[in-house]
Structures are given as structure tokens and as C-alpha cells.
Amino acid sequence: MAHLLLLLLTTGLPAALAGTISSFYGCYTEGTSERALTGSGTVDATSMTIANCETFCYRQGFSLYGLEYGSECYCGNSLSAGSFQSFATDCTSPCAGSPAETCGGSRRLSLFGKSPVAPAISPIPYPGDRVHAYRPVGSGCYTEAVGGRALNGASISSSSMTICACADWCLNNGFMISGTEYGDECFCSNAIEKSANETNIGECDFPCAGNRAEKCGGSDRLSLYEWY
Ligand SMILES: *[C@@H]1O[C@H](CO)[C@@H](O)[C@H](O)[C@H]1NC(C)=O
């Protein structure tokens, strides 16, 4: 009987005390056509903290909360299409009310929730059920385009860049072609600009920022891969 009472007491903790049991899932992107968390939200440019956002969202019955750009707090029970885990280095905004804490970044959420398991992301836009793999395009090394980017769909840079990280990030954003450049940059598209040319693989000789054993393009040169 005493055990049952204890169980009831511990499982019935008020939301404000639940901070100790929240999980941190990582740094997430916004959704493709709407916010990652659409349940509720608030902005506090002076006193936003992780705990304040948690209280705000849990009190309204939501199981997920995310902080963005230092002062924004969003709530929901699931992630919108297109939201997925991005590089940890994208989330570097100090919380407005507690600068030692990190509250997301520009279009990036520090995502937390009640479950120990990260929320599901919508299916990656991989066409069909063929072998899920990527391979070099042509020689594997391309120039940038004349007056523009060879791949102009989306881009990101990260101190943890690798060929795989870039290819995954592009695929999760809906792009089949990925290219790393200058060691830490990643570009995506579904088509290579016409004025970008295949070139000698030796011109792509910058080590990847996140794995120096791999090559991630060069100056104006991309190590190009495609999903197939
Ligand atoms: C790629 O090749 C075409 C055709 O030879 C040329 O017009 C274009 O300038 C080249 N692009 C670059 C970036 O050198």
C-alpha cells in the first residue's frame, strides 16, 4: 500500500517539477512549410529559459517543447514535416533569461520532451525502396558554376562536416545531390547547374572538418555525391 501511494505521488508530479525528467533530443530544423511545433508558442526577449519554456508547454498539456533564437518557445506533440535533427553547432543562441543555457539558433530549435525517445520525423523523401546509398557523381569533383553555385537548393556549414553528414542533411531536406566544399560547407540540389563542370578528383583535396581522413571539396570545388 505504501508503495502504491509512493507510485501515485511520483507519477503525479506537477508539470513545473517535471524538468528533471525531460529529455534533450538535439538541435532541430523548422518544418518545410510551417513551424516544427505548431501547438502553442510564446516569446520573451528578457527572461526566456529552458525551464520557463518547459513549464509553458507542459502546463498546456504538450509533450514537446523547443526553444529558438534565444527568446522563442514552441510547443507541440509531434514534429511537422521537414523538421529533423540538424548539426549541434546550429544551436548556439544564449537563452535571453539565462545566457549560460543554449536556446536554439536561427531557424533551429533546441528540442526537449517528456519521452526518453526522440520524436518521429516524417519519412525522408527517398523515392522508392531501392538500395539506400550514395555514390560519387562522375569523377566526384566539380567546379562551382559560372556566377553561382553548382548546387543551389539548400546549404549549411558545420565544424563536424563529413560526406555522410552532408548527404544525409541534403536527403532530409529533399535533395538527392550533395556536395561538400572548403572542408566544412555542404550544398544540395536535385540538379547540377549547367556551367559547373566535372574536374580532376585531385582538385578536391580539403579534409572534411569532421573527419580529416575524408575529402570535402576544395576552394571553389565540390566533392559531389548522389543518392541512388
Ligand atoms: C564549364 O565548361 C563550359 C563549356 O566548356 C564553359 O563555358 C564554362 O565556363 C565552364 N565552367 C567553369 C566554371 O569553368
pLDDT tens-place string over residues 118-136: 888 775 545 544 445 788 9
pLDDT at 15 over 70: no
pLDDT at 7 over 50: no
State the Cα–Cα distance between residues 157 and 206, nearest whole angstrom.
14
Measured from the Cα of 144, ligand 1's closest atom is 13
Bigger pLDDT: 85 vs 94: 94
Percent over 90 (pLDDT), the chain:
68
Q: How far is the CA of 158 from the centre of ligand 1 (A)?
A: 29
Reading phi first (left if > 0) and then psi (alpha if -120 to 50, else beta), residue 82 is in: left
State the Cα–Cα distance between residues 100 and 53, nearest whole angstrom.
16
pLDDT of residue 20: 54
pLDDT one-digit tens code per residue, 170-203: 887 778 899 999 999 999 999 999 999 999 999 9
pLDDT of residue 226: 93
Measured from the Cα of 146, ligand 1's closest atom is 13
3-state secondary structure of 17: helix
pLDDT of residue 14: 40
Q: How far is the CA of 143 from the centre of ligand 1 (A)?
A: 9
Pocket of ligand 1 from Cβ distances under 6 Å: 143, 146, 195, 197
User: What is the average pLDDT value for the chain, to the nearest integer?
Assistant: 87
- Determine which residue's CA is closest to atom 7 belonging to ligand 1: 195
Going from the C-alpha of 174 to that of each of 78, 123, 154, 180, 186, the distances in angstroms are 20, 10, 10, 17, 14
pLDDT at 59 over 80: yes
pLDDT of residue 224: 97
Confidence at 83, pLDDT banded by 50, 70, 90? confident
